[in-house]
A and B are shown apart, each in its own frame.
Chain A
Amino acid sequence: ETGVTQSPTHLIKTRGQQVTLRCSSQSGHNTVSWYQQALGQGPQFIFQYYREEENGRGNFPPRFSGLQFPNYSSELNVNALELDDSALYLCASSLKTGSSYEQYFGPGTRLTVT
């Protein structure tokens, strides 16, 4: 089975621009979560998608948006980039069974906003 993959690995954008990050879930997983990890901090939950619908959101503004596709791959879109958006963005896929399930993380996309 394939693991979670993310693209691109690194990205440099200018303040005010828009960015799209991509994630391919582990085979068979129907849930994807996105996290932001600023330098020196733990990951912060952005949102989660289950069967193509948003299934929970953290304390992030609406300019952070996402999509999940029928094949369970996912995108994270960030509009009007700010310097503080510079971080490692992690996606995690899981198979929702019962009330808890293990999340498998991808290697992340390092976003730098200048």
Chain B
Amino acid sequence: AQSVTQLDSQVPVFEEAPVELRCNYSSSVSVYLFWYVQYPNQGLQLLLKYLSGSTLVESINGFEAEFNKSQTSFHLRKPSVHISDTAEYFCAVSDLRGYNKLIFGAGTRLAVHP
């Protein structure tokens, strides 16, 4: 079985500051890793994913995440945040077997202040 731990429930940050949202996972098998973003009153949008290959993955809006197998982590970073990045961020894993069930963390609320 897999599990995901998001170490911070809330992260307040000022606009244009860097941010890191932490995610650790536990699994006895190889997994795929995902970050989803949820804006208020909306569904989930895929931000980025790691399936294989380069351990550093990037999104189109400046976020990046690095897969660290030895530390079982997949932290999300952005060098300079905007007010519009205020949202709930969810880390998720799925294993490589059978169906693609996503196991989510509890979420991190990113609040960007002017």
- A-to-B contact residues, CB < 8 Å: 4, 31, 33, 35, 40-45, 48, 50, 55-56, 58, 90, 92, 94, 96, 99-108
Contacts and interface: CB of A to CB of B under 8 A. Distances in A.
Contact of B102 (A43, A104, A107, A108): A43
Chain B CB within 10 Å — which of A48, A58, A99, A104 has the most?
A99
Given A100-B51, A102-B46, A105-B44, A48 B101 contact: yes
Nearest to B41: A107
B32 A41 contact: no
Contacts of B97: 99
Contact of B43 (A58, A90, A99): A90
Nearest to A42: B104
B48 to A, nearest CB: 11
Contacts of B42: 107-108
Interface in B87-101: 90, 92, 94, 96-101
A41 B106 contact: yes
B103 interface: yes
Given A42-B106, A100-B32, A100-B94, A107 B43 contact: yes
Interface in B66-114: 90, 92, 94, 96-107
The 4 A-B residue pairs whose C-beta atoms are closest, nearest first, are A42-B104, A105-B43, A105-B44, A56-B99
Given A42-B104, A102-B49, A103-B100, A90 B44 contact: yes
A43 B96 contact: no
B101 A56 contact: yes
A43 B34 CA distance: 13
Contact of A50 (B43, B94, B99): B99
A33 B101 contact: yes
A101 B99 CA distance: 9
B45 interface: yes
A90 B51 CA distance: 23
Contacts of B46: 102-104
A43 to B, nearest CB: 5
A55 B99 contact: yes
A48 B99 contact: yes
